Amino acid sequence: MHPAGQLGARSKMRVFVAGATGFIGRSTCRSLAEAGHEVIGLARDEAKAGALEKQGVRAIVGTLDDPGSFFAQAGRPEAIVHMAATWFDGPETIEQARRIGERILGWTRSLAQLAVESKSRILVFAGNNVTDSADAGPRRAVGYERISEPSQTYLEGAAGVPLTVLVPGWIYGAGSWFPETVREIRAGQTTHLVGDGDAHLGYVEVGDVGEAFRLAVERCAAGRSFNVVDEEPLTVRQFVEETARALGVAMPRGISREQALRERGQVFLEALTAPGDLDIGRTRRELGWRPRYRSVREGLPPVLRSLGG
């Protein structure tokens, strides 16, 4: 039986997902649809809409850059999941992160307005790892948090939107950064390993992330933030070692911090070297989330098989 089926009393919800066609979005839509919710996903073209429909998701073809393209059709959702994002083009500079953060903030304002007008019970936002800089002082955004921080700050302060923030670590699966990292590891050098690789970033399998978002929707834990990483924290070096072992190849070389900064940019360097917050106690207690793959050692073999490796 699907885990959601065991909850029994929980009622079906109408959920609007922005970013439904993305890496985390597809997994979240699958979890929500399998649990029996009415899922409405935003897709930017007909082909992506068709793929969503096959998952049991009602697709709206539109763009967050034009709220009029989806607002009326969203149908007063009881929950909104916001995992829409755009990415760097070339080196990941602080200036580019600022521009991306501003663009996503525009989308966030529209989704908050939809939440208010629909009297949604919850808006669930995909944040990025909240990391504390070792050099103390007031906490500052580092790494990819630079992109989500403007939206998160706005949502936390704005317009009476009931908000839950989910903060996944580095998500491995058939999408985003992981397939390229696998190719690099096979080729003998990976940019995922920067310097000593001694930071604990937190890793989690994408299906487990989808389940965490489903639970966040259902539990409506407004005013809360939840880390979503697995139960056995590995350093970056250990993660790369495990991946190489599972692939049956030698441990690859990494790149120096200087090379990472020069070729990939400051934000990339920060993202790969600043430790993440790995405490999932609240996620377990209040969302009832348990990762199916408690460690990378358990999750890598099936994920690599799904990549054809």
- List interacting residues with ligand NAP (CB under 6 A): 19-25, 42, 44, 48, 63-65, 83-87, 126, 128, 144, 147-148, 168, 170-171, 175-177
Smaller CB distance to ligand NAP: residue 12 or 234? 234
- Please tell me the total number of residues recorded for the chain in this structure: 309
Position 242: which residue type?
Answer: E
Smaller CB distance to ligand NAP: residue 57 or 122? 57
To the nearest whole angstrom, how small is the minimum distance from the Cβ of residue 20 to ligand NAP?
A: 6
Q: Which two tokens stand for residue 278?
A: 């790995």
Smaller CB distance to ligand NAP: residue 10 or 177? 177
To the nearest whole angstrom, how small is the minimum distance from the Cβ of residue 277 to ligand NAP?
A: 12
Give the pairing type, strands 189-194 and 253-255.
Answer: parallel
Smaller CB distance to ligand NAP: residue 10 or 176? 176
Smaller CB distance to ligand NAP: residue 170 or 226? 170
Rg (CA), the chain: 19
Position 29: which residue type?
Answer: C
Stretch (H or E) spanning 41? strand 38-43
Smaller CB distance to ligand NAP: residue 13 or 83? 83
Alpha carbon distance 15, 82 (integer Å) = 11
To the nearest whole angstrom, how small is the minimum distance from the Cβ of residue 146 to ligand NAP?
A: 10
For 160-222, give the DSSP string.
T--EEEEEE-EEESSSTTHHHHHHHHHHTEEEEEETT---B--EEEHHHHHHHHHHHHHHT-T
CB atoms within 10 A of CB 211: 26
To the nearest whole angstrom, how small is the minimum distance from the Cβ of residue 60 to ligand NAP?
A: 10
Smaller CB distance to ligand NAP: residue 19 or 195? 19
Alpha carbon distance 305, 309 (integer Å) = 5
Alpha carbon distance 217, 211 (integer Å) = 10
To the nearest whole angstrom, how small is the minimum distance from the Cβ of residue 88 to ligand NAP?
A: 11
Alpha carbon distance 297, 287 (integer Å) = 24
To the nearest whole angstrom, how small is the minimum distance from the Cβ of residue 176 to ligand NAP?
A: 4
Alpha carbon distance 62, 49 (integer Å) = 10
Smaller CB distance to ligand NAP: residue 6 or 54? 54
To the nearest whole angstrom, how small is the minimum distance from the Cβ of residue 250 to ligand NAP?
A: 25
Mutual angle of helices 206-219 and 23-34, in 10-degree steps: 60
Question: Minimal CB distance to ligand NAP: which residue?
Answer: 22
To the nearest whole angstrom, how small is the minimum distance from the Cβ of residue 148 to ligand NAP?
A: 5
